[in-house]
Structure formats: structure tokens, C-alpha cells
Structure 1
Amino acid sequence: MTRLLHISASPRGDRSRSDKVARRLIAGLGAAEVETLDLAAATLPAFDGAAIEGRYDLIEGRAVDPAVIAAWEGIRATVAHFLSFDTHVFSVPMWNFGVPWRLKQYIDVLTQPGLAFTVSAEGVTGLAAGRRAVLVCSGALDIRPGQPGAELDFQTAYMRAWLGFIGVTDVHELQVRPTYGSPEEVEAAMERAYAEADALAGLLRG
């Protein structure tokens, strides 16, 4: 493990419980280089109608507006930046059973044919293969695997499905739940998550 990107999807700053557990994990991993991408503050490339239509014009060699060229340069740079890391740690709070919209925007920017994956007669090949990801998923409800309501966790399921699509199969997860309730319940959830983060760090260090 040499380069680690911490992708924070929470806008809560120091109050974010998923960030707290992610930072505990990262401290124990001992990566040579760590960078944090705060999605709440990041300026992401626009992936709007003009950029989508411009993609086909660019592929087919037609003239496009300079703004579209600039947008695609930004998209390519964002994908290249993501792929330059060998380990990705995601802080993912649950919003309405899924992921925060800024994380979804980031994923939509990244998931481009020819940049993050290719398609052939044999199927889809993810271009992020060989990398490792850790999902630190938090939520107000205790819907960890095996708990009542676990079927509502589209947050972890979506992240695992997307990572698999772009070729990341070495995926680990830490569940920080519940983050709402009595102080005793929340503190117990945090202590459990910290312990699991310490154990996972030891396992990944080898």
C-alpha cells in the first residue's frame, strides 16, 4: 500500500462519524501517502447534457464547443486522479437508504467508458482492477447484516456493485450503526466500529 485516497462523502466535517472511523483506520494502515478528497468542498467537473452530447461528437470527430472540451478534460483528469491511488477509503453516510448526492455525482463523473471501464464482446472490463477499497458506512438505523431492516441497506450494496463494475474486487467494509439513539447506544456503536477498524488495519497491513 503506497498511495491512499480518502473520499469523504459527509458534509458534517469533524462531526461525521464515518469520517472519524475512517481516520482511525487510515492511521493504522501506515500508507506512504494519504490524500483526502472532501466531496462537500470539491469542485467536480460538470457532467450535464452538453457534456453527454459532446462525448459522442468527440468520439465521432465532430467540432464541439470549447466548454465541452474543457469539461471532458476535467472528467479525464478526475478519473486519472482516482486511478492513481492503489487504495481508496470511502466515508459514506446513509442518506435515504442510499448514498449522498455528492458521492453519486463523483461516481457519475468517474464511470466513463474508455476511462474507468471498457466493453467488448467478452463483456465489461473494469480499469480499476488490482486496487483495494474500504467502505466505512454509517447510518442512524442499525441495519447491519443480520439485523432487522438489513434489506434497506442500498448504500453498501450500491457501493459494492459500482466498485465491482469498475474492477475493484478487494473490498472491505466497516459498519458504523446506529449513529442516532441514546448516548450509550451511539457510543457503543462507535467503540465497536473503532475496534473493527483497528482489526482491519492489522489484517491489511499483513
Structure 2
Amino acid sequence: MTMRILHIDASPRASRSRSRVVAEAFLAGLPDDVQVTLWDVWQMDLPSLGGDMIEGRYELLFGRPVDDAVADEWQAVAKIAADFLAHDAFVISTPMWNFGVPYRLKHFVDVVTQPGMTFRNDAVGNVEGLAAGKRALVIGASAMPIGHDPSLDALDHQYAYLAAWLGFIGVDEIERIQVAPTFGPEDAVAETMAQSCEGAAALARRWALD
């Protein structure tokens, strides 16, 4: 069966993004029959989760009517979540902003992480993620050597956050490529990129065999 991969890109720098370059090196190494869909979170029309939307969610959960506009927005959320789960694997490429992820990626996570859409609760509150059986690759870029220097682990709210979220929604296998450091002498940054792209290509070959 053809593998369907969703590439979620969180950098506003498009082709100049180092994390996207490494993601493209990974995707290029996969078999030709793999289907790849790109979601650029900076270009997506993500519903705003303001007060009316949140109150509407509670009303809908209890089976009560809501305004048509709110109902339409929640239908849009449900479609994004369903389209997300329709893929077999996820590749997330993101820069590190202030030790975390860009706000547009956080917005995306907030939109799709909804009860009954990407997870559900049983009668006593236990959580079951609905992305079980799927795998993910997180490609994070950072100016500092986060991910390579254990003394900086406390500053990592990029991979740690994304891995926790993916695990919460049930993703079984989460892998990481940390593109770092991306700040420093030109030759050092070039070496970072070369090693990261080589690692991405090697990982793609392994995925192709799984």
C-alpha cells in the first residue's frame, strides 16, 4: 500500500529555511510511489480559537445548538483534523523560536488537538490517541547546539513539546533530526547542513525498508 506522508512546514522562510532543506533531503530519498502532501502553516487558513469558538465547543460536546457561524468553523476544524489523520506518517520541519516553536505551528496543534478528532476519553477520563499506528519525524533547526549538547536540554521546548504532543495523540514512533547549530562561522554551518542532510537521506533509506 502506498505510504501517505504529510509534511508540516513551520518556517516562514520557505526555500531559505534550513529545516525545510533537510526535510526535502529526507523526502527526496523515499521511494517514488510515496505520496507527500505539504502543509505550510503560514499559508493555511486555520480557524481562530477565540471565546465564541471555545464556548461553542462545550455546547457541541453536550449536544446543544450553536450559531451557524460557530458550527461552520468547528466543521472546518474537524475537516483539518480528519485530513491530518488520513496520512500514514508526519514530517514536521520547524525552526526554534525562543526555545519553542513558531506560533503558527502552535496554532495548528491547538486546532487539530480536539476530543473526538485526534484523541478521545473513556468514561473515567483515560486518553486514547487516534493516531496509533502512525510514525513521525521531527526536523528542528536551532541556532544553538540544542539536541547535541546535554547542558542545553533544559532549553529545548521545541522537540520536547512536539514529541509530547505526538505521543499524546497516539503516534507510536517518533524520530528526530536536530539541525544545529545554525549560527556561527559559514563553514561550520555548512558542515551542520551537510551532516543533517546526510542523516536525513540515511533515515529515508531505512523508512523505505520498513
Query: Shorter-chain TM-score category?
Result: over 0.9
- Do residues 130 (structure 1) and 129 (structure 2) align? no
Match of 1:157 among 142, 157, 160: 160
Instruction: Output one character per residue of 1:104-126: Cα deviation in whole Å (capped at 9) or x when no partner.
Output: 00000010011111112372100
Question: 2:62 and 2:41 mapped to 1: Cα distance?
Answer: 33
User: What secondary structure, in the 3-state scheme, does the structure 2 residue paired with 1:149 have?
Assistant: helix
User: What secondary structure, in the 3-state scheme, does the structure 2 residue paired with 1:148 have?
Assistant: helix
Q: Structure 1's 39 and 122: CA in aligned 2 closer, same or farther, altered over 3 A?
A: closer
% identity of equivalent residues? 45
Question: 2:101 and 2:172 mapped to 1: Cα distance?
Answer: 20
Instruction: State the Cα distance separating 1:55 from its structure 2 match.
Output: 1.2
Letter of the structure 2 residue corresponding to residue 197 of structure 1? A
- Cα-Cα RMSD: 1.3
Counterparts of 1:84-163 in structure 2 under 5 Å?
Answer: 84-120=86-122, 121=124, 123-163=126-166
**Runs of at least 5 residues in structure 2 that lack an aligned partner in the other structure:** none
Deviating above 4 A after TM superposition, structure 1's stretches of 4 or more consecutive aligned residues are none
Counterparts of 1:41-52 in structure 2 under 5 Å?
Answer: 41-52=43-54
Question: 1:184 and 1:151 mapped to 2: Cα distance?
Answer: 28
Letter of the structure 1 residue corresponding to residue 93 of structure 2? S
Question: 2:129 and 2:81 mapped to 1: Cα distance?
Answer: 13
Question: 1:64 and 1:2 mapped to 2: Cα distance?
Answer: 38
More displaced 10-residue stretch of structure 1: 5-14 or 25-34: 25-34
User: 1:199: which partner in 2?
Assistant: 202
Question: 1:138 and 1:27 mapped to 2: Cα distance?
Answer: 19
User: 1:9: which partner in 2?
Assistant: 10
More displaced 10-residue stretch of structure 1: 72-81 or 42-51: 42-51
User: 1:57: which partner in 2?
Assistant: 59
User: 1:74: which partner in 2?
Assistant: 76
Question: 2:156 and 2:104 mapped to 1: Cα distance?
Answer: 18
Aligned residues: 206
TM-score, normalised via structure 2 length: 0.94
Instruction: Output one character per residue of 1:39-85: Cα deviation in whole Å (capped at 9) or x when no partner.
Output: 11111122221111001212223221111001100000000010000
**Runs of at least 5 residues in structure 1 that lack an aligned partner in the other structure:** none
User: 1:21: which partner in 2?
Assistant: 22
More displaced 10-residue stretch of structure 1: 99-108 or 192-201: 192-201
